[in-house]
Amino acid sequence: MTIERWSWLGEPLAADFANTVRRRGQEYEEQLEHPQHLVDWARHEGVELERPDAAQLERVRELRDAVFAILLAATSREPPPPGTERLVNAALAAVPLVPQLQGGEVVLTAPGDPPALDELLARVAASLLDLLGDPALAFCDAPSCGQFFLRHRRDQRWCGPACGTRARVARHARR
Ligand SMILES: [Zn+2]
């Protein structure tokens, strides 16, 4: 069940985080309705979380909405909406991540054993900073998608062939 729920994940962390809302037709549906949904999502990202309480889940959704809005603005080359950067900056400041060399790779470490949820949100925010500079970042505007992805080709408009097909069908239906 959880695998089916999160089958579309696999983009960079900040995109996967923004993609915790999903379109059904043209309306967005919340995929983080219950604390367990956040635990399941985190597990897909390789992070074990304790079950958050309602207030923590609310905070996560707020940051998710901010990340979504910032990514959406970036795909249309607009500045982030007012108030969104504050939430991202708070997540970054809560758990400073230190780049370290390990086996020839740069990895971000979180010294001092911070709470797992705070560390995850800081990593989401750090991933967002990376994504904002990535020319491959794109938004799939197809019905039942509305998600962020990285383009493999410059002219790629949909995240996958299924979305291209759905968008064409919807266009024909409107005519
Ligand atoms: Zn799509």
35-90: pLDDT as tens digits: 999 999 999 999 999 999 999 999 999 999 999 999 999 999 999 999 999 999 99
pLDDT reading at 123 higher than 70: yes
Q: What's the gap in Å between 131 CA and the centre of ligand 1?
A: 18
pTM of the model: 0.93
Q: Could you tell me the pLDDT band of residue 3, with boundaries at 50, 70 and 90?
A: very low
For residue 100, the tally of other CB atoms under 10 A from its CB is 11
At residue 10, the pLDDT reads 87
Pair type for strands 147-150 and 27-30: unpaired
Is the confidence at residue 151, as pLDDT, over 70? yes
Cα 19 to middle of ligand 1, angstroms: 11
Q: How far is the CA of 8 from the centre of ligand 1 (A)?
A: 9
Stretch 138-163: mean pLDDT, rounded? Answer: 93
Residue 102 has pLDDT above 90, yes or no: yes
Provide the 10 A C-beta neighbour count for residue 64. 23
Residue 7 confidence (pLDDT) above 90: no
- Residue 56 CA to ligand 1 center (angstroms) comes to 29
Per-residue confidence band for 4, with pLDDT thresholds at 50, 70 and 90 = low
Q: Can you tell me the mean pLDDT for 150-167?
A: 93
Instruction: Judge whether residue 2 has pLDDT over 70.
Output: no
Q: Is the pLDDT of residue 24 over 60?
A: yes
Domain assignments of the chain as residue spans, ordered by start: 13-135
pLDDT band at residue 170 using 50, 70 and 90 as cut-offs: confident
Q: How far is the CA of 97 from the centre of ligand 1 (A)?
A: 32
Burial class for 103, CB neighbours closer than 10 Å (0-12, 13-18, 19+): exposed
Q: What is the mean pLDDT of residues 122-138?
A: 96
- CA–centroid distance, residue 151 to ligand 1 (Å): 11
Once rounded to an integer, what is the mean pLDDT over residues 104-122?
96
Collapse the DSSP code of 116 into the 3-class scheme (helix H, G, I; strand E, B; otherwise coil) and give the result: helix
